[in-house]
Homo-oligomer: A and B are copies of this chain.
Amino acid sequence: MNLEATINDFKSHVERIRMFTGAMTVMGFDAHTIAPKGAVATRAKRDGFFESEVHALATGDKMRGFLEDLAPHAAQLDPITLGMYRVCKRNYEESAKIPAEKVRQFSELTSNAYVAWEAAKKTDDFPSFAPYLKDIIAMRKEMLEYRRVDDTPAYDLLLDDYEEGMTMAIYDEFFAKVRAAIVPLLRGVMASKKKIDKTFTRAHFPIGEQRKLSEFIAKKVGYDLSRGYICETAHPFCSTDNRDDVRITTRYDENDFFYSFYSVLHECGHAIYEQNTGDDIADTILSTGASAGLHESQSRFYENIIGRSKAFWEYITPELKGYLPPHFKDATPIQFYEAANHAGPSFIRTEADELTYSLHVMVRYEIERMIFTEDIDVNDLPAIWNKKYEEYIGVTPPNNTRGILQDVHWSGGMFGYFPTYSIGSAYASQFLAYMQREMDVDGLIKSGNLAPITNWLMDKIHRHGSVYTPRDLVGKIAGEQLNADYYTAYLKEKFEGLYEIK
């Protein structure tokens, strides 16, 4: 068979995967929003069916054949075909060698662990969760052995799974810079005489009115609602079927409109990324963000770089008058800006401010690194956690519920994911710096003209979907890789100003 025919067959096969995963996305969104509670069991059966269909397509003999046939020709492939080959090869290597029975066992273990984690978190009972965590770690290590082809450390394999190309070496250097810059900066904030009062944002704001504000602000930053939908769930998320159907969810707090306001901006960043994938890859397996870290860079760009900037509040404050309740009518841009950037020590990662966020992540990264590189007793982890919080953030969690039990990730076996949150923020600052070389970003935001900003992101990042590896994509923009210096400089300038440090 000639190469062209092989490529066509390969693409049809991949299209089939895409059709199935698209259906799974719609069913998943439905399950998380309006599906009746009573449907859980039948829906789980359905999910299992489609998961195994996709698994068979992605790891079966047919896929192996395509990958083998295409391997010698990789250098000749056009970027899109190469991208599909690369993504499929990665999926194949991640899962094809793990026996189905192991996958089933691990799935059962994590299902049970999730229930145990929920209960343990509720009752502050780490010891009841510890045996599950121990088993999950052991099984994760065991499963990594099946795909081992060289002596890459286990944790490097995991880091690469969640962000292609990442290693402990890269993250170690990254977090060393973060630690060196942010820990003293936080001390400066805590010692500052300048106090920010954000209590005025905590005033009653009916949900019905907040819904209108969500639509308004989403449109303002460029989320296309004719190809989107804003729905409500307990935990906000963004769900992409294809670029013409990218939905976000939010949660409304009647007494803190900032919660949903920033949640919407964050999810809009994810959604705009997905809505802007290029015509040439629309509705293919490549029409989705290049990685978790790059996705987070876009959500953080809209949430923080734009949404928490002084320029943005100068622009948006008068625009909000028609949407905010009367008791906000005298609030100034500076008041909003300061309130949106109130910083300080805290216990909960998802509620952390822009300054301290990566310190929370660093605690998790360091602990995960220990788990996979040292012989550690899970029972010692809470003490380690608390010590690190004290060291970096300056507070000791009052209990494990607000400490080591706060995140769901480990109960699902997700080790190696957390650092992608931090590099998201770091990339966002890095992209801002590149952008500033070409345009007056602050001036554009201040005038409400976000189009050149979005166009820059679209051109450099969005339209490429997953055609390139995240490192290739980042490298193409300005010839360098992840560089924490932009991030630390951005935070230093912003928070030294806000808290009048020095």
Q: Are A49 and B245 in contact, with the CB atoms below 8 A?
A: no
**A437 in the interface (beta carbon within 8 A):** no
Report if A38-B244 is in contact (Cβ < 8 Å); known contacts: A26-B26, A30-B26, A50-B23.
yes
The residue that A229 contacts in the complex, of B27, B36, B226, with Cβ under 8 A, is: B36
Q: Are A36 and B283 in contact, with the CB atoms below 8 A?
A: no
CB closest chain-B residue, reference A22: B46
Q: Are A46 and B23 in contact, with the CB atoms below 8 A?
A: yes
Report if A35-B245 is in contact (Cβ < 8 Å); known contacts: A19-B50, A23-B23.
yes
How many interface residues does A have (CB within 8 Å)?
35
The residue that A38 contacts in the complex, of B27, B35, B227, with Cβ under 8 A, is: B227
Indicate the member of A26, A27, A34 with the most B CB atoms within 10 Å.
Answer: A26
Write the A33-59 contact mask toward B (1 if CB under 8 angstroms, else 0): 111111101110110011000000000
**A303 in the interface (beta carbon within 8 A):** no
**A316 in the interface (beta carbon within 8 A):** no
Report if A42-B229 is in contact (Cβ < 8 Å); known contacts: A30-B26, A244-B36.
no
Q: Are B42 and A244 in contact, with the CB atoms below 8 A?
A: yes
The residue that A36 contacts in the complex, of B37, B42, B49, B227, with Cβ under 8 A, is: B227
Q: Are B231 and A38 in contact, with the CB atoms below 8 A?
A: no
A245 vs B39: C-alpha distance when bound (angstroms): 5
Question: Which of chain A's residues 1-34 have a Cβ closer than 8 Å to chain B?
Answer: 19, 22-23, 26-27, 29-30, 33-34
**A226 cross-chain contacts in B, Cβ below 8 A:** 36-38
CB closest chain-B residue, reference A53: B19
Q: Are A42 and B228 in contact, with the CB atoms below 8 A?
A: no
CB closest chain-B residue, reference A49: B19
| CB of A197, distance to nearest CB on chain B (Å) | 37
A484 vs B19: C-alpha distance when bound (angstroms): 48
| CB of A320, distance to nearest CB on chain B (Å) | 25
CB closest chain-B residue, reference A38: B227
| CB of A299, distance to nearest CB on chain B (Å) | 20
**A376 in the interface (beta carbon within 8 A):** no
**A45 cross-chain contacts in B, Cβ below 8 A:** 283
Q: Are B245 and A34 in contact, with the CB atoms below 8 A?
A: no
Q: Are B50 and A241 in contact, with the CB atoms below 8 A?
A: no
Q: Are B241 and A42 in contact, with the CB atoms below 8 A?
A: yes
Q: Are A34 and B229 in contact, with the CB atoms below 8 A?
A: yes
**A42 cross-chain contacts in B, Cβ below 8 A:** 241-242, 244-245, 282-283
| CB of A489, distance to nearest CB on chain B (Å) | 39
| CB of A243, distance to nearest CB on chain B (Å) | 8
**A93 in the interface (beta carbon within 8 A):** no
Q: Are A244 and B23 in contact, with the CB atoms below 8 A?
A: no
**A38 cross-chain contacts in B, Cβ below 8 A:** 224, 226-227, 244-245
Q: Are B34 and A46 in contact, with the CB atoms below 8 A?
A: no
**A30 cross-chain contacts in B, Cβ below 8 A:** 26, 29-30
**A241 cross-chain contacts in B, Cβ below 8 A:** 39, 42
**A225 in the interface (beta carbon within 8 A):** yes
CB closest chain-B residue, reference A16: B49
A282 vs B45: C-alpha distance when bound (angstroms): 12
| CB of A140, distance to nearest CB on chain B (Å) | 30
| CB of A51, distance to nearest CB on chain B (Å) | 11
**A37 cross-chain contacts in B, Cβ below 8 A:** 226-227
CB closest chain-B residue, reference A37: B226
Question: Which of chain A's residues 175-234 have a Cβ closer than 8 Å to chain B?
Answer: 224-229, 231
A195 vs B107: C-alpha distance when bound (angstroms): 68
| CB of A32, distance to nearest CB on chain B (Å) | 12
| CB of A211, distance to nearest CB on chain B (Å) | 14
Report if A245-B36 is in contact (Cβ < 8 Å); known contacts: A23-B50, A26-B30, A50-B19.
yes
A36 vs B239: C-alpha distance when bound (angstroms): 13
| CB of A45, distance to nearest CB on chain B (Å) | 7
Top 3 nearest A-B pairs (CB, nearest first) are A38-B227, A39-B245, A38-B226
Chain A residues within 8 Å of B, Cβ to Cβ: 19, 22-23, 26-27, 29-30, 33-39, 41-43, 45-46, 49-50, 224-229, 231, 241-242, 244-245, 247, 282-283
11 sampled A-B residue pairs with Cβ under 8 A: A19-B46, A27-B27, A29-B30, A34-B229, A36-B225, A36-B229, A36-B245, A39-B241, A42-B282, A42-B283, A45-B283
